[in-house]
């Protein structure tokens, strides 16, 4: 009854691997050449690099939107732009930074790094990973195209109804915003599944739950939060677009709908979202600090529990974005308490890092500078956060620049500074060369000073009553000087980012050659070449502690017996990482790309006609079915390796 | 390396009891051997059901996401209801007959679904084909009745907020039904034409788990759509 004959007896790897095995592994795991190969790529490092580059491209776009706003606000009654463009700019800035940069870039770094840190050859579901990237890219391109055509959204990054509803936002602008959400949340949700499955099932033998690198812990907690929070905003934005396009009444009070519902649904996602951005930032710090303090992290277990506690608590905070609504005061008090409580796990982590730094032998390199900036900036942001958690103060400064200052201190301090540190830290792993240290210092100091010059004055502006989202202000308000200072800070940040871009571009070919472990790090990504071979590890390592590179020597050292001619990886048990099963991974294919194109047609088409929801499913169904349908040759290769339990 | 072509449909004794699974686990650990500095995993199985399969984790992730979406949609329903003086606002509640009939069909479909899952776990190609086929027929029947359900809601999506959320609840569930029906149809076709390997039986098993999810998530939605407005 067998319809496919197994392929000839497969070649398995030995320890140490022979050069023939290494060459075969490279052939097996690399992405195919050519244009077709380019869209067929599924290797997690290829997808990860594209994902990171795309996210940084959107970061630059989002930064330019911000710079344009700062130039407009530099002096009172400035005529650089009118209110319509300004509205689009602040919406584009917020939406781009939150949905196209901050959340995806963390998942992107994880997609690249997790298999290397965990000691495996691929992320779980590599084709879905590729699909998620394309969906993200197409969603971002749709938003940018809409903006270029002067139909960019203009309702703010949280698009409150009734402003974004059919009565106050006719035209298609808000629809593009709603579909941006659909694109990016679909991508983010799929990546969450990829990340959880990778961390739970694909760790190297011996990497028990108690030995997982802290970055992987932060990503797995983030991924769980994504799964339970993002459906809320997808549902909210779908309801919005249905209100706008097919006449439902979710947010229409005249027919029983409710505008506060939007705020609940949005912030039930939106507050955890802050932690999707913040937790991976903590993971970067927990990777950088031990390496540059040259000692294992202090308080590993407390750190893990704090990350998990933060994940849970972050779901109990959303109403603190809604203190200015008519909710019951008792309910608000609960959210004040929850908001204050989240300071506890955050403080535990900060003290663990301080203990690590205090007792370590510090080596001051650019990644550590960025990590240390976190302590200053995030703590200031955390302080203003504690202030905002109290209802009376929040109501006083609601919708002023005080909130703008707070959120930038938290998000840049908590995520962007650690992210820049992370790029400096792992750039040699991505490219095989180090980024320039001198430009790194310029990058850091311009960013650190520029950031504080740009955002600290906003606290004062907020206290002086300057509302957010105004395209200009009168000279008699007395806000001119502080705004000019702030704009100057923004220019410093722009100069800093230019240093970074030049450094990244120039170091690709001119940086010092890194070797496998330029910083002396302890986690597994430093146990392989820089850049890593297509298969990551020629033999999968066996782990005996939390910092395997620092604890080398125990036997067994590596795994033997995986195929080198077929994409085979080792699946281990969730708790103890016992070897459990060999798993055949899929080959490159263009169908995730085609499916993503079909999905993009469906999403964008539905902005213009509800019928796209009907006919648009047909190409998606066809493309995903061909994607799934097994090829005879691949099946034969798998059958040659197959073994019943 | 020895191979057993389970993908070709070789018979394997039924091993779904707890003892058998314990025995398999021990075998799995024995399959890993120390050879010098190496841990040789060549003898490990390449197929595993339930939590041993990556696909199981992926499906579980989808269920978590979609379960959250259902729960939130139900929360929206009650958010509107608690703020309403009269519920439904102006329209009569949905007629019970089609929704109830569909609930019966869904519950009945769990039996062939269970048998398809069992057949997959025995690598029984004929059994999979037969029981999955029966599931598919029931799913198509269900989708036919679903059409009648929409017409018996007694409200349009654009009548008022009640209509909007009821249509959304039923629509969300229907999307899951349609996708799982399509998945089942593709698997059914694959089990007819091949090429098969062991992991395709895992796919059938995970598809069956997802169908359970679709059925179990229907019961609260049925209660909300049909019983809450009465």
DSSP assignment of A555-585: S--EEE--BSSS-EEEEE-TTT--EEEEEEP
Report the DSSP beta bridge partners of residue A433: A513
Rounded CA separation A364/A325 (Å) = 48
Give the start-to-end residue ranges of the domains of chain A.
19-24+33-253+260-641
pLDDT 10s digits, A414-445: 999 999 999 999 999 999 999 999 999 999 99
Chain B residues close to A235, C-beta within 8 Å: 69, 72-73, 76
Cβ–Cβ below 8 Å for A227 and B61: yes
What confidence score (pLDDT) does residue A305 get?
A: 97
Touching check for A232 and chain B: CB below 8 Å?
Answer: yes
Supply A97's token pair. Answer: 């930074």
Return the CA Rg of chain B. 22
| Selection from A177, A1, A2, A94 nearest residue A640 by Cα | A2
Mention every residue, 6+ apart, whose C-beta is less than 8 A from residue B144.
none
| For chain A, percent of residues with pLDDT exceeding 90 | 90
CA-based angle A423:A402:A285, to the nearest 5? 25
Q: How confident is the model at residue A312 (pLDDT cuts 50, 70, 90)?
A: very high
What's the rounded Cα separation, in Å, for the pair B132 and B128? Answer: 6
Q: Which of A166-180, A249-263, A383-397, B202-216 has the lowest mean pLDDT?
A: A383-397
| Cβ atoms of B173 and B150 closer than 8 Å | no
Instruction: Describe the crossing of helices A401-411 and A259-293 by its angle, rounded to 10 degrees.
Output: 40
In whole angstroms, what is the distance from residue A413 CA to residue A379 CA?
A: 8
Rounded to whole angstroms, the Cα distance separating A574 from A288 reads 26
Yes or no, beta carbons of A255 and B159 under 8 Å apart:
yes
Place of tokens 């263009």: A590
Asked if residue B63 has a cis previous peptide bond (ω within 30° of 0), the answer is no
- What does the block give as tokens for A447? 């960013």
The pLDDT tens digits for A364-395 are: 999 999 999 999 999 899 889 888 988 899 99
CB contact under 8 A, B168 and A580: no
Handedness of CA A598, A604, A605, A606 (dihedral sign): positive
Residue pLDDT, tens place only, B96-151:
999 999 999 999 999 999 999 999 999 999 999 999 999 999 999 999 999 999 99
Average pLDDT, chain A: 95
Which among A128, A196, A578 has CB closest to B57?
A196
What is the predicted pLDDT for the residue at A386?
A: 85
CA-based nearest residue in chain B for residue A17: B38
Lookup: tokens for A9: 């007896």
CATH superfamily of B50-227: Cytochrome c oxidase, subunit III, four-helix bundle (1.20.120.80)
Residues in chain A closer than 8 A to B123 (CB atoms): 644
Q: What gap in Å lies between CA A634 and CA B53, rounded to an integer?
A: 19
pLDDT for the residue numbered A3: 65
Both tokens of A12, joined, read 């398995």
Residue with tokens 């009654």: A77
Q: What is the DSSP string of A289-358?
A: HHHHHTSPPS-HHHHHHHHHHHHHHGGG-GGGG-TTS---HHHHHHHHHHHHHTHHHHHHHHHHHHHHHH
For A193, which of B2, B27, B62 is closest by C-beta distance?
A: B62
Structure tokens at B113: 């679904």
Terminal C-alpha separation, chain B: 65
Best B27, B45, B61 member to test A by mutation, with max A CBs in 10 Å, is B61
CA angle in degrees (0–180, nearest 5) for A476-A480-A485: 165
Conformation bin of residue A377: beta by default, left when phi > 0, alpha when psi is -120 to 50:
alpha
Indicate the domain borders of chain B: 6-40, 50-227
Within an 8 Å CB–CB cutoff, is residue A557 touching chain B? Answer: yes
Q: What is the DSSP letter of B42?
A: T
Mutation for B interface: A257, A561, A628, most B CBs within 10 A: A561
Q: Which distant-in-sequence residues (6+ apart) come within 8 Å of A23 by Cβ?
A: none
Task: Count the Cβ atoms, other than its own, within 10 Å of residue A56.
Answer: 19
Inter-axis angle of helices A437-463 and A417-431, nearest 10: 160
Using a CB-CB cut-off of 8 Å, the residues of chain A touching B155 are none
Token pair in block for residue A366 = 């650019």
Q: Looking at the partner chain, which of B3, B80, B195 has a beta carbon nearest the beta carbon of A3?
A: B195
CB B127 within 8 A of CB B115: yes
Q: Which helix (H) or strand (E) holds B35?
A: strand B33-35
Q: Are A453 and A459 in contact (CB under 8 A)?
A: no
Q: Which of A3, A224, A254, A256 to mutate to test the interface with B (most CBs of B within 10 A)?
A: A256
B195 vs A570: CB contact, 8 Å cut-off?
A: no
Instruction: Give the pairing of strands B33-35 and A579-584.
Output: unpaired
Across A157-166, average pLDDT: 96
Q: Supply A395's token pair.
A: 């109501």
Q: Please, which pLDDT band fits residue B194 given cuts at 50, 70 and 90?
A: confident
**Which member of B47, B65, B76 has the closest CB to residue A189?**
B65
Q: Is the pLDDT of residue B28 over 90?
A: no
Looking at chain B, the whole-number percentage of residues with pLDDT higher than 70 is 87
Distance from CA of B24 to the nearest CA of A (A): 6
Rounded Cα distance between A497 and A440, Å, is 10
Three-class SS state of A74:
coil
Residues 110-129 of A with CB under 8 A from B: 124-125, 128
Predicted local distance difference test score (pLDDT) of residue A4: 72
Q: Which two three-digit tokens encode residue A1?
A: 């009854």
Inform me whether the pLDDT recorded for B10 exceeds 50: no
Could you tell me the maximum CA-CA distance found in chain A, to the nearest angstrom? 87
Kindly list the distances between the CA atom of residue A234 and the CA atoms of A230, A242, A436, A609, B217, in Å, as whole numbers in the listed order: 6, 12, 42, 19, 19
Residue B34 has what DSSP assignment? E
Please tell me which of the candidates A246, A261, A560 has its beta carbon nearest to residue B39: A560
pLDDT digits (tens, 9 = 90+) for B64-80: 999 999 999 999 999 99
Quote the CA–CA distance of A198 and A221 in Å, as a whole number. Answer: 13
- Confidence label for B29 from pLDDT (cuts 50, 70 and 90): low
Q: Which residue of B has its CA nearest to A223?
A: B61
> Within an 8 Å CB–CB cutoff, is residue A515 touching chain B?
no
Backbone conformation region of residue A522, classed left if phi is above 0, alpha if psi is from -120 to 50, else beta: alpha
A192, A542, A640: residue with CB nearest B61: A192
Write out chain B residues lying below 8 Å of A584, CB-based. 46, 199
A174-216 pLDDT, tens digit per residue, is 999 999 999 999 999 999 999 999 999 999 999 999 999 999 9
Phi and psi based region of residue A176 (left: phi greater than 0; alpha: psi -120 to 50; beta: remaining): alpha
DSSP three-state, residue A92:
helix
Which chain B residues are Cβ-neighbours of A599 within 8 angstroms? none
Q: What's the confidence (pLDDT) of residue B17?
A: 46
Which residues 255-284 in chain A show a CB within 8 A of chain B?
255-258, 261, 264-265, 268
Residues A122, A128, A129, A131, Cα dihedral to 10°: 140
Q: Residue B1's pLDDT band (boundaries 50, 70, 90)? A: very low
**Among candidate residues A183, A98, A195, A92, the one with its CA nearest the CA of residue A133:** A183
Using a CB-CB cut-off of 8 Å, the residues of chain B touching A242 are 157, 164, 168
> Percent of chain A beyond pLDDT 70?
99
User: What are the C-alpha distances in Å from A284 to residues A278, A590, B123?
Assistant: 10, 33, 45
**Cis peptide upstream of residue A16 (ω within 30 degrees of 0):** yes
- Residue A582 β-bridge partners: A570
Q: ω before A547 within 30° of 0 (cis)?
A: no
Instruction: For the domain covering A19-24+33-253+260-641, report its CATH number.
Output: 1.20.210.10
- pLDDT at residue B30, as a whole number: 65
Burial degree of B33 (CB within 10 A; 0-12, 13-18, 19+): middle
pLDDT tops 90 at residue B18: no
The ipTM value here is 0.94
Q: How close B193 comes to chain A (CA, Å)?
A: 9
Report the C-alpha gap between B119 and A279 in whole angstroms. Answer: 44
């Amino acid at each position: 009854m067998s319809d496919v004959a197994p392929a000839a007896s497969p070649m398995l790897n030995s320890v140490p691997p022979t050069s023939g095995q290494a060459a075969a592994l490279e052939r097996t795991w690399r992405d195919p050449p050519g244009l077709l190969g380019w869209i067929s790529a599924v290797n997690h490092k290829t997808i990860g690099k594209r994902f990171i580059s795309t996210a940084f491209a959107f970061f630059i776009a989002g930064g330019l939107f911000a710079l344009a706003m700062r130039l407009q606000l530099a002096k009172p009654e400035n005529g650089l732009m009118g209110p319509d463009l300004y509205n689009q700019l602040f919406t584009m800035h917020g939406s781009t930074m939150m949905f196209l940069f901050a959340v995806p870039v963390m998942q992107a770094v994880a997609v690249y790094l997790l298999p290397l840190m965990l000691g495996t050859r691929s992320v779980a579901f590599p084709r879905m990973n590729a699909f998620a990237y394309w969906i993200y890219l197409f969603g971002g391109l749709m938003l940018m195209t809409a903006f270029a055509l002067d139909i960019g959204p203009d309702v703010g990054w949280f698009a409150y109804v009734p402003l974004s509803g059919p009565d106050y936002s006719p035209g298609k602008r808000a629809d593009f915003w709603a579909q941006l959400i659909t694109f990016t949340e679909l991508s983010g949700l799929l990546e969450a599944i990829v990340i959880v499955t990778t961390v739970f099932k694909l760790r190297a033998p011996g990497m028990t739950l108690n030995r997982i690198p802290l970055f992987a812990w932060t990503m797995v907690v983030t991924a769980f939060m994504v799964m339970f929070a993002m459906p809320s905003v997808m549902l909210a934005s779908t309801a919005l677009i249905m209100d706008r396009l097919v006449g439902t009444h979710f947010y229409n009070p005249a027919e029983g709908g409710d505008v506060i519902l939007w705020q609940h649904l949005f912030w039930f996602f939106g507050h955890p979202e802050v932690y999707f951005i913040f937790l991976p930032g903590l993971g970067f710090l927990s990777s950088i600090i031990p390496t540059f303090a040259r000692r294992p992290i202090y308080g590993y277990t407390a750190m893990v529990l704090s990350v998990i506690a933060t994940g849970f608590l972050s779901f109990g905070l959303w109403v603190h974005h809604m203190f200015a609504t008519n909710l019951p005061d008792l309910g608000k008090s609960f959210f004040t308490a929850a908001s204050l409580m989240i300071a506890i796990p955050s403080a535990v982590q900060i003290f663990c890092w301080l203990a690590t730094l205090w007792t370590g032998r510090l080596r001051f390199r650019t990644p550590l500078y960025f990590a240390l900036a976190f302590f200053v900036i995030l703590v200031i942001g955390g302080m203003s956060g504690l202030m905002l958690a109290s209802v009376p103060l929040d109501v006083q400064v609601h919708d002023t620049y005080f909130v703008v200052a707070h959120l930038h201190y938290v998000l840049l301090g908590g995520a962007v500074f650690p992210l820049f540190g992370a790029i400096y830290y792992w750039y040699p792993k991505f490219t095989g060369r180090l980024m320039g240290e001198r430009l790194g210092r310029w990058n850091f100091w311009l960013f650190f000073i520029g950031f504080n010059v740009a955002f600290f004055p906003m606290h004062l502006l907020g206290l002086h009553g300057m509302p957010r989202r105004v395209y200009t202000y009168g000279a008699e308000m007395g806000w001119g000087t502080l705004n000019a200072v702030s704009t100057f800070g923004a220019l410093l940040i722009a100069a800093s980012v230019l240093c970074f871009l030049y450094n990244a571009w120039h170091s690709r070919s001119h940086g010092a050659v890194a070797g496998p472990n330029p910083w002396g790090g302890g986690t597994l990504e430093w146990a392989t070449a820089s850049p890593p071979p297509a298969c990551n590890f020629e033999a999968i390592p066996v782990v005996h502690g939390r910092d395997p590179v620092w604890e080398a020597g125990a036997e067994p050292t590596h795994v033997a017996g995986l195929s080198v001619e077929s994409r085979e990886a080792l699946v281990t048990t969730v708790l103890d990482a016992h070897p459990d099963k060999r798993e055949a991974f899929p080959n490159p294919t263009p169908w995730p790309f085609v499916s993503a194109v079909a999905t993009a047609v469906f999403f964008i088409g539905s902005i213009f006609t509800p019928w796209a929801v009907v006919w648009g499913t047909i190409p998606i169904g066809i493309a995903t079915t061909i994607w799934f349908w097994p090829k005879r040759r691949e099946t034969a290769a798998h059958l040659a390796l197959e073994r019943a339990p | 390396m020895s191979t057993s072509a389970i993908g070709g449909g070789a018979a394997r004794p039924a091993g779904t009891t707890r003892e058998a699974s314990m025995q398999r686990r021990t075998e799995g650990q024995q399959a890993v051997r120390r050879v010098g500095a190496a841990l040789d995993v060549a003898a490990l199985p390449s197929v595993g059901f339930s939590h041993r399969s990556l696909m199981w984790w992926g499906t579980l992730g989808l269920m978590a996401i979609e379960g959250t979406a259902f729960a939130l949609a139900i929360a929206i329903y009650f958010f509107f209801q608690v703020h309403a003086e009269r519920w439904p606002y102006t329209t009569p509640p949905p007629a019970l007959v089609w929704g109830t009939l569909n609930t019966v069909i869904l519950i009945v479909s769990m039996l062939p679904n269970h048998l398809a899952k069992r057949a997959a776990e025995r690598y029984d190609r004929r059994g999979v084909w037969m029981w999955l086929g029966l599931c598919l027929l029931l799913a198509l029947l269900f989708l036919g009745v679903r059409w009648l359900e929409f017409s018996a809601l007694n409200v349009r999506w654009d009548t008022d907020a009640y209509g909007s959320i009821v249509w959304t609840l039923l629509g969300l569930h229907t999307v899951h039904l349609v996708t799982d029906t399509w998945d089942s149809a593709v698997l059914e076709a694959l089990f007819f034409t091949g090429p098969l390997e062991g992991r395709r039986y895992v796919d059938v098993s995970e598809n069956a788990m997802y169908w359970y999810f679709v059925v179990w998530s229907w019961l609260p939605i049925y209660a909300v759509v049909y019983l809450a407005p009465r």
